[in-house]
Structure 1
C-alpha cells in the first residue's frame, strides 16, 4: 500500500526582478520516503525549498502539510511546525560551541528564566548517541572540519522531531565513510515515518537512497518518477533537456616541463608535514584523501592563506615565498576555496564586484579611479565564458544558485591570468551539465600551459580529469599514482596509510 502524502506543494510560483524562478511547480512527498529533487543549477530547487521553509514568500500556490494548508512566514515558524532544512551553505555561529549552535534560539530553561547548561549538554549527548555522531559538544564550531559541522547541522534538524527534513547537498563535504553514516541516519528517519527531501547532483546517491525523484528545469516541473524506474542517462536527459553521453570530456592536454617544485612543505599550525611534489606545465594534478588528511592545507599553504612552517616553493626554478594571498596572486597563483559562502563570495555585492575584485589594479585610470567600461567588459566576458545564469551584472551574487556562484569565482580568478590554479572542490554543489563545462574549462586551461592542482572528494572526478593524483593521509603524502592506471581501491588504501 502506498504511503500517504505528507507534504503537497501545488502551483508554486516565485518571481525575482528580471527572472521567474518558479513557474507552477508541484511536489508531493509521501510519509516514510526519501524524495529526491534534481535539476541543473538555477532550476529552482533551492528556491522551492526556501518557499517551503519560510525564507521566501511564494507569489502563488498552496502548501499542505499533514492535511493542513500552511504558509510559513519564517524558518522559526517552519521548524516549530515540523519542517527542518539542512542547508548546503552552513550558516553557524562559529565562535560558539557545538551545544550552543544546536540549541540557539530555543535554550532549555529552568523555571522559564534561567538557561540550563546541564539540560543542553545532556540532550546534545543523547541526540549524538542516537545518531552515532562523534563530535565534542564543547568544541568551538570554527575549530571543526566542514564535515563535522555538517553533522552538527544534521543533528540539529533531527532534534526538532521534524515531520519533513530537507537535505540540500548534504554529502558535498563528506567522505565516503561519512556518507554511509548519513544514509544510516536517513534510513532511521524514514523508518520513523519522516518525509525526506534530498537535493543532490550525485546521481549514484540519488538512485541508491531515494524512493521517488522529481526533476526540475528552468523553474518548472519536468517529471516525477519512482527511483527504481530511472537510469543515470534518463535523469541527465530530463535535467538538461539533451543527451550527455560522457561524464568527462576527452583529456587532450599534454603535460610539459616542470613549472612548480614543492619540497618538504609543512604547516606551522596544521598537520601538514613535509609534502614534496612537482607540477608540470599543462598538467592537472589531483589531490585525494580522507577529510582531515591535509588536502586543503596543501593548497592553503601554497597560497599563503595559512602560515607555512617550513619548506621550499619554486616557480620556474626560482624560489618564491607566497607569505600572503596578495603575494601569491602577484606570483601567478589563484585559489578557489572549498567553502564558497564563507571564503569565496561577497554575498551582498553584485556579480560585477565579485568578478573584478581580485584584479582591481588592471582597471585603474591614472592611478585614481576605476574604469567602469573595462570592468563591465570583463564581467560580460566572465558571464559568457562561464555560462553564468544571471539577470544582469548588478544582481547580488547571493541570489544566484551555488553552481553559478562558483562560476563567478572561477571567472574572477581567470581574469588575474594565473600560472598555477589551485582548485579546492571546484564542482562542489554543481549539477552534471555545469560540471562537464567546468571540466572542459580545466582541461582547456591545462592546454594553454597552466598548471592545475585540484582537490576533490569525488574519486571518479579525479580519475576522469587528472593526469596524476597525490594521496594525502594523516597530514603526510602517502603516495602518487597515475590517474590512467590506478583504481579507487588503490587510492583508498593509500588514504588510510597514516590514519
Structure 2
C-alpha cells in the first residue's frame, strides 16, 4: 500500500507551520500545521467555516497568511511576495468546486486560454489540438474538445478543468469539493484519475464533505475545526464514526429525525406535466401539508427540470398544476413566490443568491414588502432584525450581516438560501439537492429543519442524488426513469432495494 511506503524517505511537497490567518473581525486559521507528501492523497475535512478553503488559498497564494511558514518542496516561501502565479510556477494547481470555465468557448479554448501557441501572428490550433488530446490521453479521458463547454455534461466540464490544471505539469493538485456536482459514474472516474496521479508521484489535497470519499481515495487525513488543527493521521487507522466525532466534536446518532406522520390538505398537485424538450413527460405527483415528498432518479431523469417547471422557470407543453386545489398557470418565479412557493436550487451561486449582495440583502430579498413604514419607506431596522433572527436560527457562521455572501463557505451560503424562504414563510418548499457541499454536522441541522418545516404544516419536495437522504426523510418517493415516473413508493416500500430497481428501470411484475 502506498501509504505505508511513505514512512520511509518520501519527498515532502508542501509543509505549513503555525499558519494563522486573520481577516477583519475573525481569525479564520489559528496555528495550523499541515504536510503533503509526494504520491499521496491527503483528505482535508471539517465543518463549513472550519478553514479548509482558507488553508488551501494560503497554499496557492490567494491568501497571505498573517503568521506562519510555508515550504514548497523544501523551499521556504517569502509570504509577502507569494501569489497565485508564483504558486503555479512552483507546481501547485487547484480545481474548484464551482466551474471556472467560459461556456461560449469550446473545451480546447478553455484549456489554453491566455497561453495559446502561435505560429507567427496566428494561433496554431493544430498544435493546441495535439496538446489537448495529449492531456486527455494522460488522464485517460475522452471529451470532444471542439464542443462548446455549455453543451458538455457536468463530468466532462470537470475533466476540462482538470486538464487545464495539468498544463504546467503540477506536483501538487488541490481538489476543492470536486465531486459535489458529479453523479456516481463521474465520481468513480475522479477516483481513477486520483490513483493515476498518485502513481506519477503527484500529491493531492482532497477537500470534501463526503466522508465515504475520504475512506475511498485518501491515504491520510487532517481535521480542522473553527480554524484550529484537531488531528492528522492515516485513514486506515480510523473509522467513519471516529472521523465524524473529530469533525463536529460529538458523536452523531439518529442522523435522520423521526418523520412527521400528520398530514393536512393537498398543497400541490401536478397532473400529466410534460416539458417542451421532453426532459420529463406525463409526470403526476401530489404534496400534502406536513409531507416530505422525495424525487429520485439518475442523471438525466428530469428531476431538476421538473422542479423548475413547477416553479414557472421551465417551459411546459401540457399538463395541469393545482395549488391548494385551485388550478394555476405558473408563468414565472415571481408568480410562484406569490402563490407561496420557494425553491432551493442545485446551483446556489448561479440561481439561489446574488453574489454581489451581502448576507442581509440576500436573506430579505423576496420579503422586502414585509418591512415597509407607512407602505412607503423601507424599515431597515426591522429588516436587519429579521435577517439576524432567521440566520441565527440556522446557526449561520458570519462576521456581520453586511458581509458579502461570496465570502461565506459553500455550506453557509446554502443556509442563507434556505433562510430567505423561511423568512418569506412559504407554504411549499422545492428543495433541489439542499445538502450539496454541506458538511455532516450542517446536514443534520438541515435534516432537522426539514422535519420542523413538515411539523409546521409546510409541504416539501426533496430532490437528492443521495439515496440515503431520500429514504431517511421522505414520506413518499416518486422514482423517475428517463423523464417519466417509474414508480411511487410509500411506507415500508421506501427502501434501497425497491428504489434502486426503479432507478434502473427494472419494475417487478
TM range (shorter): over 0.9
Tell whether 2:469 aligns with 1:464: no
Q: 1:133 aligns with which of 131, 137, 141?
A: 141
Equivalent residue in structure 2 for 1:232, among 240, 253, 257: 240
Distance 1:155 1:280 in 2: 47
1:132 Cα deviation from its structure 2 partner? 4.1
How many Å separate the matches in 1 of 2:281 and 2:143?
25
Unaligned stretches of 5+ in structure 2? none
Per the alignment, residue 117 of structure 2 pairs with 108
Give the C-alpha shift of residue 390 in structure 1: 0.7
Name the SS for the 2:181 alignment partner. coil
Q: Secondary structure at the match of 2:209?
A: coil
Q: Does structure 1 residue 69 correspond to structure 2 residue 68? A: no
SS of equivalent to 1:254: coil
Q: Does 1:309 align with 2:317?
A: yes
Instruction: Quote the offset at 1:486 in angstroms.
Output: 3.7
Shift of 1:147: 3.6
- State the alpha-carbon separation in 1 of the partners of residues 223 and 357 from structure 2: 31
Moved more, 367-376 or 120-129: 120-129
Structure 2 counterparts to residues 349-498 of structure 1, below 5 A: 349-482=357-490, 484-497=492-505
Shift of 1:282: 1.0
- Which of 185, 188, 191 lines up with 1:183 in the alignment? 191
Aligned length: 497
Secondary structure of the 1:156 match is: helix
Query: Shift of residue 310 of structure 1?
Result: 2.0
TM-score (norm. length: structure 2) = 0.93
Is 470-479 or 294-303 further displaced after alignment? Answer: 470-479
Aligned residue number for residue 297 of structure 2: 289
* Contact 1:303–1:333 (CA under 8 A) maintained in structure 2: yes
| 1:82 aligns to 2:113 (yes or no) | no
Distance 1:487 1:156 in 2: 41
1:230, distance to aligned residue in structure 2 (A): 1.1
User: After TM superposition, where is structure 1 displaced by more than 4 Å over at least 4 residues in a row?
Assistant: none
Instruction: Tell me the alpha carbon deviations over residues 203-242 of structure 1, each in whole angstroms, 9 at most, x when there is no partner.
Output: 1111121110100000011100100111111111111112
Shift of 1:484: 4.2
Partners of 1:8 and 1:437 in 2: how far apart?
34
Mapped partners of 1:433, 1:213: distance in 2: 18
The alpha-carbon deviation at position 114 of structure 1 amounts to: 2.4
**CA RMSD of superposed structures (Å):** 1.8
Distance 2:262 2:237 in 1: 41
Q: Deviations over 1:406-448 (max 9, x none)?
A: 1111001111111110111101111111100000000110111
Q: Select 2:106's aligned residue among 97, 106, 112.
A: 97
Q: Does 1:8 align with 2:15?
A: yes
SS at match of 1:215: strand
In the alignment, the residues of structure 2 paired with residue 91 and residue 367 of structure 1 have an alpha-carbon distance, to the nearest angstrom, of 43
Q: Any conservation in 1 of the 2:265–2:324 contact (CA below 8 Å)?
A: no
Q: Matched residue of 2:435: which SS?
A: coil
The residue matched to 1:172 in structure 2 has which SS? helix
1:54 Cα deviation from its structure 2 partner? 1.9
Displacement of 1:135 in angstroms is: 3.3
Cα–Cα, structure 1 residues 86 and 370, in superposed 2: closer, same or farther, change >3 Å? same
Match of 1:345 in 2: 353
Equivalent pair of 2:477/2:494 in contact (CA under 8 Å): no
* CA offsets 1:380-421 (integer angstroms, 9 cap, x no match): 112211100111111111111111111111001111111110
Partners in 2 of 1:176 and 1:352 — Cα distance? 36
Equivalents in 2 of 1:335, 1:145: separation in Å?
A: 23
Q: CA deviation at 1:492?
A: 3.2
Structure 1 window deviating more from structure 2 (39-48 vs 355-364): it is 355-364
* 1:35 has 2:42 as partner: yes
Q: Structure 2 CA distance, aligned partners of 1:474 and 1:132?
A: 29
Indicate if the aligned counterparts of 1:253 and 1:444 stay in contact, CA closer than 8 A. Answer: no
Give the TM-score normalised by the residue count of structure 1. Answer: 0.95
